[in-house]
Amino acid sequence: MKHDKPNITSILEHYGAKVPTRRGWAVMKCPFHNDSHASSAVNIDENIFKCHGCQYKGDGYAIIMAKEGVNFREAITIAEGILNARGEVLPQRVTRSGRISRRTRNNDESGAGSTLGRRLRPVNGT
């Protein structure tokens, strides 16, 4: 099992979602479009999100890449900033060979609370 993805709950809450705490697939209103009825779902166990209305889907990185219009490397930096702001750390990335990557920017004390050189975009005009 790879523990290399940001907590989907933290990422969605950053973008203004109210995430249900239920295990398995839980229906919720999508934070990415004007949703009057719950048209999306999140699976906390699988760490993924899917909206049937606006088609945002995937793990935390995919959500960041779609929402911010950035590549994967920039999404990692943004995820680190989001999690650091919440007092969390990005899980260590485990490679296919089973080794832990040498990512240290997020796991050392010097980077705590910083966005690592990238400003986060405001959500909902705030």
Task: For residue 126, name the pLDDT band (cuts at 50, 70, 90).
Answer: very low
Q: Report d(CA 107, CA 51) in Å as an integer.
A: 32
Q: Specify the pLDDT at position 112.
A: 41
3 state SS of 52? coil
Angle at CA of residue 16, ends 35 and 59, nearest 5°: 90
Record the pTM.
Answer: 0.68
Element housing 77 (H / E): helix 72-85
| pLDDT score of 120 more than 50 | yes
> What is the chain's mean pLDDT, rounded?
78
Q: In this predicted model, what pLDDT tens digit does every residue of 71-112 receive, in sequence order?
A: 999 999 999 999 988 888 877 655 556 555 545 444 444 444
Q: What is the pLDDT of residues 10-40, one digit of tens each?
A: 999 999 889 998 889 999 999 888 888 899 9
